[in-house]
Amino acid sequence: MKAMNVASAVGLMLLAITQAGAQPALNTDSFVLTEKEAVGMLPAEVAAAPTVKSFKWSANGKYLLIHRESLAVTPAMLRALASGNLPAGPPAGETSLVLWDKAAHRSIDLIRLRNGLGSIREFEWVGVGGMGIAVVDEVVPPPLGRDVPPLRRTVAWRIDAVGGTAKRLVVAGDETYLGFYSSPSQPMAAIQLSRELDPPGVLQPSGLLKRRIEVILVKAAGSAAPPIVLGEGMSIHSWSANGADLILYSIVPREPGRKTRIDRLLMDPLTGRIDPTPLAEGSAHLVGPAPKREGDVRLLSTRQSLAVPQGAAGRAVHPLWLVSNTRASAISQALVSADVGPSEISPTVESVAFISNGALMVSQLVRLPKAAFLAMKEAADTATALSNAKQIGLAAMMYAQDHDEKLPGSGDDVAGLLSPYLKNSDILQEMTFTFGGGALKDVANPAETELGYVQRSGGRAIFYVDGHAKWKPDGK
């Protein structure tokens, strides 16, 4: 039997609280129905403060890598910019790579760079575990008192999500290009270092640039293997379909009257052995993995125009919805957030991450048996209807006290008359007022005289002249 995740256990606990007669403990409007379950969202938590540029889920859905930038902007700086006084250097701030741990509900700064002293070029998870690779361009200022250019270098960092650490693996100088290729299924990555050996634009007799290209394999343990030097005209193209071998581009020098040929060769990254036989089109090594099967829910971002006061500039918002993939679902979508940027559901379909107002928010998904959820929703709807009906009934009593002990009638603008006596007058929109009006003293049996009701699926909450409310199921 598959173990229940924490979010679903929390959901069942809240369900039990609701069914025990307390006020609804879980917002049923945040759920959608699938074929067998109800999937909903717990309140979102902050994974990283503004400003988040990008993020990526690990394949196991346990971690997020987050690229974050922050600037220390002050009112004085803004006034100076408005007057045309540009700062001498970059504003104070930093760029960082942040790790968020789902189980610990904790964020850790793995890599931090002061503004102007580097940038995070790219980052990626490796395989299905908790290892990642980040490529960072760094600027090292010269020592004090020395009039020399700053040192520029590119560093490949290994990310250990389980340990919450990052360490330098490979450092490349300014004249060497560093790139990396993450295996889609195996816990390893290949780092490629490329450096031109001839002056820019100078070609060899073969028509190729003379480059030294090295490949460094990084395994899950975090160690970097000795570099493998590729032959002339070779470079990494991608990983093979099974994620165990590297596919190389091999540029075959052109011959007189013939075009340059590009072959694709297979290389074993563990041994460095290259199969000289070119891969044919349609080779199993070139065919990508089967597309991932879509889960029972997905995210949908829409665009809507925001109503603004007259004279104000209009703007659009981008609501994010959790949508059921079950056809003809009775409850097919639920609002995640009213205005978001990039968003992504975790590969395990257990969490939703989205950028809102520059911050990265994460909402864990709750899974409940459909029948249990529908019972919870019915109980929640009943409790809400009874609460609203009682508030309306009390508002009618307060109105009568202010108007010579007289109640409004169904022919009056009841909503307008009772609105001042309610904190939330929106509940009047679902009210049907049935009392004909008149003095309280003329009501013979206040506890049995109906003022009106609030309709819900399956019944109605009736409120009476004495201020109490009672649920009446349909058909009774």
For residue range 277-290, what is the model confidence (pLDDT) as tens digits?
999 988 988 876 66
Bridge partners, residue 40, by sequence: 31, 366
- Give the tokens for residue 266: 């297979």
- Strand ranges (DSSP E) for 269-398? 274-275, 297-301, 304-306, 315-317, 320-324, 333-337, 343-345, 351-356, 359-369
The yes-or-no verdict on residue 175 having pLDDT over 90 is no
- Residues 377-402: what's their mean pLDDT? 93
Rounded to whole angstroms, the Cα distance separating 246 from 268 reads 6
The yes-or-no verdict on residue 157 having pLDDT over 70 is yes
What is the helix (H) or strand (E) element at residue 191, kind and residue range? strand 188-196
What is the helix (H) or strand (E) element at residue 75, kind and residue range? helix 75-82
Residue 21: predicted pLDDT: 43
Q: Which is nearest to 419 in space by CA: 402, 403, 399?
A: 399
Dihedral pair phi/psi, residue 13, rounded to 5°: -65, -45
Residue 19 binned pLDDT confidence (cut-offs 50, 70, 90):
very low
Residue 18: predicted pLDDT: 44
Specify burial of residue 244 (Cβ count, 10 A radius: 0-12, 13-18, 19+): middle
* CB contact at 8 A, 183 and 189: yes
- Residues 219-243: what's their mean pLDDT? 89
* Domain coordinates in residue numbering, the chain: 6-83+96-275, 372-473
**CATH architecture of structural domain 6-83+96-275:** 7 Propeller (2.130)
**104-140 pLDDT, tens digit each:** 999 999 999 998 899 999 999 998 888 999 999 999 8
* CB contact at 8 A, 298 and 325: yes
The yes-or-no verdict on residue 15 having pLDDT over 50 is no
Q: Which is nearest to 125 in space by CA: 67, 190, 183?
A: 183
Residue 23: predicted pLDDT: 45
Q: Residue 122 corresponds to which amino acid?
A: E
- Give the tokens for residue 62: 């346990």
- Give the tokens for residue 451: 């003022």
Rounded to whole angstroms, the Cα distance separating 34 from 288 reads 30
User: 207 in the Ramachandran plot: left (φ > 0), alpha (ψ -120 to 50) or beta?
Assistant: left
**195-214 pLDDT, tens digit each:** 887 666 655 555 566 789 99
* CB contact at 8 A, 66 and 100: yes
**322-349 pLDDT, tens digit each:** 999 988 777 899 999 999 999 999 999 9
The yes-or-no verdict on residue 354 having pLDDT over 90 is yes
CA distances from 447 to 60, 403, 450 (A): 59, 21, 8
Residue tagged 């987050």 (tokens): 66
Residue 144: predicted pLDDT: 81
412: three-class secondary structure by DSSP: coil
Per-chain mean pLDDT for the chain: 87
The yes-or-no verdict on residue 320 having pLDDT over 50 is yes
Dihedral pair phi/psi, residue 96, rounded to 5°: -145, 155
Residue 87: predicted pLDDT: 67
Residue 17: predicted pLDDT: 45
The yes-or-no verdict on residue 1 having pLDDT over 50 is no
Residue 289: predicted pLDDT: 62
Q: Is the pTM of this model over 0.85?
A: no
Residue 2: predicted pLDDT: 44
Residue 340: predicted pLDDT: 95
| Widest CA span in the chain | 112
The yes-or-no verdict on residue 13 having pLDDT over 70 is no
Q: Which residue has the higher pLDDT, 74 or 223?
A: 223
Q: Could you tell me whether strands 63-71 and 52-57 are parallel, antiparallel, or unpaired per DSSP bridges?
A: antiparallel
- Residues 168-182: what's their mean pLDDT? 91
283 Cβ neighbours under 8 A, 6+ residues apart: none
Residue % of the chain over a pLDDT of 70: 87
Q: Following CA atoms 99, 101, 107, 111 in sequence, which dihedral angle do they give, to the nearest 10 degrees?
A: -20
Residue 292: predicted pLDDT: 66
Residue 474: predicted pLDDT: 87
